[in-house]
Amino acid sequence: MGKPLKMIAKPIREDIPVWIASLGPKNVELTAEIANGWLPIFYMPERANDVWGADLAAGMAKRDPSLGPLEICAGGLVAIGDDKSDIAELARPMVALYVGGMGAKGRNFYNDLMCRYGYEEEAEKIQDLYLEGKKDEAAALVPSEFLKLTNLCGPEGFVRERIEAYAAAGVNVLNIIPVGENPTAIIEKLKTWVS
């Protein structure tokens, strides 16, 4: 009695990688300082540096070199084909839920993110409608551009351009949700593009 328990099994690795899903300035800074990886949601490569660049740089300045470079994991829905551009619309209700319903006014990280991306008016209206219980109306106000830029849906050339945009913005782990009859084929195709 009174003795601490000891692990019977030997761990496979000495350390466990820590990945943090953070969005706010101080949390992103802390993530860049202490984590192995970062999991931002609704990542928009074209605006990521404006939104998080200073926070990432501040955290990286304090980062222990033994951690290695910060891995960034982002992505979204993926559908490849000339008739697949509208697949990103499937994300509309989820975006409305996060931006409109995941927190009270003034306390919603996802709403703050949409504002930081430059969609202040839309974010406010989405939240007002969502909190009033008008979820479909809120979803209808999610900007199509937001959906297009935070997902990878459309013709092959467009999807390849999106992958390049993510890579140029520092994303080195692509996290995707394949949409289609053969998700495995989508994943296999993407593997050939990112290798």
Contact between 23 and 40 under an 8 Å Cβ cutoff? The reply is yes
- The answer to whether the CB of 176 falls within 8 A of the CB of 76 is yes
Query: CA angle, corner 124, sides to 121 and 127, nearest 5?
Result: 145
Tokens at residue 50, please?
A: 């404006």
SS3 (DSSP) at 153: strand
Specify the pTM: 0.90
Half-sphere exposure of 55 (CA within 13 A, CB side): 16
Nearest to 149 by CA among 79, 76, 94: 76
Task: Give the orientation angle of helix 156-168 with respect to helix 183-194, to 10 degrees.
Answer: 50
Are 121 and 128 within 8 A, CB to CB?
no
Whether residue 23 contacts residue 109, with contact meaning beta carbons closer than 8 Å, is answered with: yes
CATH superfamily of 19-194: Luciferase-like domain (3.20.20.30)
Alpha-carbon distance of 38 to 103, in angstroms, equals 22
Q: How confident is the model at residue 1, as a pLDDT?
A: 66
Tell me the average confidence (pLDDT) per consecutive run of 10 residues in the chain, 195 residues long: 82 90 98 99 98 98 97 97 93 98 94 98 98 98 98 97 97 96 95 88
Closest CA to 73 of 18, 19, 29: 19
